[in-house]
Structure 1
C-alpha cells in the first residue's frame, strides 16, 4: 500500500509540474482514496502559494498560477469538512482565490495587447525604412505615440501585478501565513488612490472583467460586514467573527471598486456632453449605487 501511495504521489506531482490539471486531478482523487491527508496537503500547498509553484511548465490546459490555484481551491472545497481547512470559511476562501484569478485574467489580456503593439511597431519600423524622407517625420511621431501608449499599458500590467500580490498577501494572512513565514519575494503590498489612475483605459477595455472583480470585492465586503448595506444577509458565524477583517485591510479593495465606478461615471458624463447616448448607456450598465461612490456623484 505504501509503495502504491508513493508511486501515485510521484505521478500526481509530475502532472502538476506539467500543468496537466485534469490528469493531476484524476491522480489526486485516487491518492485521496488511499491517503486523504496527503491529497489535502498537496492542494493546501498550491492554494496557499496562489499557484506560484517554481518549475511548473504552464500549458494551454492550465496557463497561469492563479488558474492553478483556483482549480485547486475548487477541489479543496470538495473535501468532506471543507470548513475546517485552515479554519477558514469556504466562501471567503473561494472569493479570495477568485479575486487573484480575475486580476490575472485582466493582466494577461493587457499583456497580449502589449505584444500586439510591439509587433505593430516592428512592422511600422520596417515600412518607414523604405519610404521617402518626407513621410518619415509623421511616421516617427506616430511611432512615438505608440511607444508612449505601450508604456502606459506596461505600467498597468505592473500595477495589476501588485494588486495580484495584494490578493495573495490577504489570502496568506487568512490561512495563517504571517510575515515571518513569507518568502523573500512576499513583501507587504499597499495601494494608493492616485496610483489607480493608470488603469483608466484598461478599465474600459476590460469592462466586463472589472465588473466581475468589483462584484467579487462587494461579496468580500459583505462577508466581513453583512450589515454594511440594507440587504438582508445572514448573521456571521463565530468563525467569521474570529476572522474579522479591519477596515484598513479592506480599504485597497474598496479603492479599486470606487475607482472603477468613477471611471465609468466620468466617461458617462463625457458621453452626455457630446450627446452620445449609446456611449452613455454602455457605461451605465457598469454603475452600481453601493460600490463606494457617494450618492451626490451620481447627480
Structure 2
C-alpha cells in the first residue's frame, strides 16, 4: 500500500449498493456491504462502522482514520480504510433489518475498511511463525507509540491468514488525549500505563525476542510535517476536531523528537 504522502495514494469514497450482513458479535456491530468507489467505479466489499453505533462518533472516526494513516505511512499492515457514504436510499434497503435504526441515524460519511477474505482472528494460544513474529513485534511497538489500549486477549483486533497479519479497530487509540493529567515526558511510560501495556495480547508472544529497534525508529521518521498536513486534508471535514488532532500530533511529535528515549522504554518492556 502506498504511503499517504505518495501521489498515487487513494482514500476511496464508497457508495454502498448491497447489504450482506451485520457482525453482531462485534462491539459496534458493523455491517458488510458491497460498495462502488465513486471515483473509478471499482466494486468491492467493505466493513462499515455506523456513526450511531456504540463507541462511534465523528471524532472516533477521525482517530480511527488517523491511526490507519500512521500505520500505512510506517509500512505496518492495516486493513485499507475507506469512507462510506450512507444515503437514505441505502437505508431504505435495510428496513426490517435490526441495523436499520442505527443506519437511519448514520446518514452521511461513515468509517469503512476493505473486507479481506480468507483471513481470521489471530489465535493467541499458538506460537507465531517467523513472518508473524516480525509483524507482531512492530504492531506492539506501534500500539505503545499511539497508546492503543484495545488489543487484548478478548479483542485482539488482528486478522491473519497464517502468514500475514493485518490490524484493525483503532477508534479508541491515542488514549493520552483523555488523560486528566498530561504526561510531560510522552516517550516515558507512567505507572498508570502499566495495566494496559501488561494486558496487551501480543506481549507474552513477543517478549524476550530479538527486535530491530532502530528500524522501528526509522519508521517513526516517516511521520513528518508533510504526513500531518496530508492526514488533516484527507480527514472529512465532518470528522475533523482540530483541538484533538493537534493534541495527538503534538504528543506524537514530541515522542519522535526524543525517539531514543522512547526506544529505550519499549526495549525495557519487550526484553
* Pairwise same-fold verdict (TM > 0.5): no
* Larger CA Rg, structure 1 vs 2: 1
TM-score normalised to structure 2 length: 0.29
Task: Give the structure with the higher percent helix.
Answer: 1
- Higher relative strand content: 2
Q: Give the TM-score of the pair, scaled to structure 1.
A: 0.27
